[in-house]
Amino acid sequence: MSADKNDHSPESHDTDHLGHEGHNHGSFKSYMIGFVLSVILTAIPFWLVMTGVLPTQATALIVMAFAVVQIVVHMIYFLHMNTKSEGGWTMLALIFTIIVVVIALSGSLWVMYHLNTNMMPTHEMSGMGS
pLDDT band at 56 (very low <50, low <70, confident <90, very high): very high
Asked if the model's pLDDT at residue 2 lies above 60, the reply is no
Quote the DSSP letter at residue 125. H
Q: What is the pTM of this model?
A: 0.60
Q: What's the confidence (pLDDT) of residue 99?
A: 93
Q: Map out the domains of the chain as residue ranges.
A: 22-80, 85-119
Asked if the model's pLDDT at residue 19 lies above 90, the reply is no
Q: Please enumerate in sequence order all residues whose Cβ is within 8 A of that of 45, keeping only pairs 6 or more positions apart, or say none.
A: 62, 63, 66, 67
Q: What's the confidence (pLDDT) of residue 130?
A: 54
Asked if the model's pLDDT at residue 44 lies above 70, the reply is yes
32 vs 5, more confident? 32
36 vs 26, more confident? 36
